[in-house]
Structure 1
Amino acid sequence: MEPFGYHNRTSLDDESILSGQFWGELRVFLAVAKAKSFNRAAEILNTSQPTVSRQVKRLQDQMGSQLFVSTKHGVKLTVKGQALAQALSRLDHSLYALTTDLKAETKDAEGIVRISITDGLNTFFVAPAIPSFSVDHPKIQLHLKSPMNVVNLRENQTDMMIGFSPVDATDVSVRQLGYLHFIPIVAKSYIHQFGIPTGSNLSKHTFLQSELYSNKARLWEAWNHVVSQGRVVHACDNSMAYGMLVKAGLGIGLLGSYVVLEPNAVPLSLDVKIDIPLYALALTERLDSRPVKIVFDWLCEIFSETNPWFSSDFRLRHPANQFDDGIKKLFNI
């Protein structure tokens, strides 16, 4: 007969530690999986490459499965290795969140909140707002990260993300914000050299393209129609580098409307304005942490429709003809 209270037992009532014999090896394996290199993992863990190799081999022997295969570019996870790495990554995220919250409960500790956000939105809106935020919340430390995947919160391993699509998951909280408006932008130096691009002279102008825009999705049709009338000189898939190519005067690019805050940037009237809704996403359980909830609400305020840059009815403040006349006077052309 089972003892009284047996069914009320929890895993903590079991004295055995099921994975205890290779906890250290699991941590080393996760480092290699993330770094995709034994040498790089050794640097991250502040140990030697032979030690890393030895511990991974021990883990593979204990599990009876090969977790990595060698390639000319480093190491690649096997199917079983990928499954283990994803499980460990989720565990690593949970442990990090738990220890951060425990530290935040002490009187003098700082709460660390990790945010995935594109470089452009970070540069123009979040970074400039941090000084005033820090005055109100001096014990909250922000960790700003460029997203590895702009639609996958878990892959970025952060507490929250400003993204471009909602997520239908029970453990993710989603709040729709304002809209990010993409418009054609060119540098003043380009206009000095090649004149003002208009709808009637695009065949004489050059464009900067991105794989994101050229993937034939209907969303980017207006832009791709304009590009097809000119000549693509360069392509770039890194958003910050793409903006720098435009700034260097190498061609016409499609950028967020907020880029006109940059003195060298000139918006063009080419009948192209692409509106993409913004979303704030956070792991629901993390919102129980007060520092995380404070940062989440702060970001939602920054990128809400009450911010003119993200309102649904955003328009440049000048008619096309007046703008073109103003540019001509500015450059004496």
Structure 2
Amino acid sequence: MRLPLAMLEVFTAIARHGSLRAAAEALGIKPSTVSHQLKALEDQMGTALFIRTTRSVSLTEAGRALMRGAGPAFDQLGAAVESARTTGHAARGTLKIALPEFAYHQFVAKALPSFHAAYPEIELELSLTDALSDLLGEELHAGFRLGDNIAEDMVAVRMTPPLRLAVLASPDYVAVHGAPETPRDLLQHNCVRYRFLSAGRIAPWTFTGEEGEYAAEVGGSLIVNSLPASVDLAMRGVGLAYTFRDYCAEALADGRLVTVLEPHLGKTPGLFLYFPREYRQMMPLRLFMDYLRGFRDTPSDG
């Protein structure tokens, strides 16, 4: 049997307000509707729920038994409805985001301490992955990816300008092995390659030429699934690494790394945040997105 929720709502209102008229005023309906709903409920249950006199309405034993269960249940339902109504509309709650490891290190990590200080009631859960996550299946709210080529039912918001690519080496490596002059020369060098943990394939080393973008064949004795590890190995003089130039800006500035093949390198489309259209007005997501964009555009000290 389906629960007669509308009738039970009328019943609890009568019990709490002490009369049919007061219940009608509280519910915003006509007294005749209250009377009709109460009669229908008593008919369905086969017992009287109230003792009616000219001056008052009081619960029967059956009515008291029903109120002991229905009252708290309606309180919980009301709280659940209010929670659903306000979820995502305030600077609190859980926000789950998937992002590549380099995006965390380069664009997110530095902003997290001040974001947490500004919005301490937002619980941020980060899933570091190079996969284009199934947001719905994994119960995530948003994800980062390179480029805005996503499903039609998702929103893509640019978070960074196009990112420059770089082939990196330590000065010691170049001193011993020389610098490649063209991408074809990479076959003669030890290239630290990156394997996507999710897809299992090796990331291509792409370059630009007269005919557009192309992938060069590279070889080497090391394969990793961590971008920081590939850069670390390059700094240690083990081989060449292929990554985003801005990711290694400090190491380039202080001379721990140098770039090679610069005339042959292009850019990626940049990082985008993608999320279901239904989350466009989700307050924690909007605050996080706007904060990251503002943090990126704020000049750093010094």
- TM-score, reference length from structure 1: 0.50
The structure-2 alpha-carbon separation of the partners of 1:155 and 1:133, relative to structure 1 and needing over 3 Å to count, comes to same
2:199 counterpart of 1:207:
no
Letter in 2 for 1:293: R
The structure-2 alpha-carbon separation of the partners of 1:128 and 1:239, relative to structure 1 and needing over 3 Å to count, comes to same
Q: CA deviation at 1:139?
A: 2.4
The structure-2 alpha-carbon separation of the partners of 1:294 and 1:122, relative to structure 1 and needing over 3 Å to count, comes to same
Deviation string, structure 1 residues 59-92 (Cα, Å, up to 9, x no partner) = xxxxxxxxxxxxxxxxxxxxxxxxxxxxxxxxxx
- Residue of 211, 231, 246 corresponding to 2:234: 246
Matches within 5 A, 1:321-332: none
Q: Which has the larger radius of gyration?
A: 2
Between the aligned partners of 2:214 and 2:246, the Cα distance in structure 1 is 19
Deviation string, structure 1 residues 213-266 (Cα, Å, up to 9, x no partner) = 3499999954515x3xxx423233443433333333221121011133242332
Q: CA deviation at 1:293?
A: 1.4
Partner of 1:31: none
Between the aligned partners of 1:243 and 1:257, the Cα distance in structure 2 is 11
- TM-score, reference length from structure 2: 0.54
Partner of 1:132: 114
Partner of 2:129: 147
Contact kept? 1:112, 1:142, Cα under 8 Å: yes
- The secondary structure found in structure 1 opposite 2:216 is helix
- The secondary structure found in structure 2 opposite 1:168 is coil
Matches within 5 A, 1:1-333: 102=87, 110-147=92-129, 149-150=131-132, 152-154=134-136, 157-164=139-146, 165-170=148-153, 172-177=154-159, 178-199=161-182, 204-210=188-194, 211-214=201-204, 222=214, 224=216, 227=218, 231-263=219-251, 264-277=256-269, 278-301=271-294
- The secondary structure found in structure 1 opposite 2:166 is strand
Letter in 2 for 1:250: V
Between the aligned partners of 2:100 and 2:134, the Cα distance in structure 1 is 13
Letter in 2 for 1:242: S
Partner of 1:57: none
Letter in 1 for 2:224: C
Q: CA deviation at 1:147?
A: 2.4
Which has the larger displacement, 244-253 or 200-209?
A: 200-209
Which has the larger displacement, 193-202 or 283-292?
A: 193-202
The structure-2 alpha-carbon separation of the partners of 1:10 and 1:126, relative to structure 1 and needing over 3 Å to count, comes to farther
Contact kept? 1:148, 1:155, Cα under 8 Å: no
Q: CA deviation at 1:302?
A: 5.5
- The secondary structure found in structure 1 opposite 2:263 is coil
Partner of 2:62: none
Between the aligned partners of 1:245 and 1:272, the Cα distance in structure 2 is 23
- The secondary structure found in structure 2 opposite 1:295 is helix
Tell me which of the two structures has the higher relative contact order, counting C-alpha pairs closer than 8 angstroms and 6 or more residues apart: 2
Contact kept? 1:183, 1:255, Cα under 8 Å: yes
Partner of 2:30: none
The structure-2 alpha-carbon separation of the partners of 1:116 and 1:188, relative to structure 1 and needing over 3 Å to count, comes to farther
The structure-2 alpha-carbon separation of the partners of 1:103 and 1:255, relative to structure 1 and needing over 3 Å to count, comes to closer
Between the aligned partners of 1:235 and 1:153, the Cα distance in structure 2 is 29
Q: CA deviation at 1:122?
A: 1.0
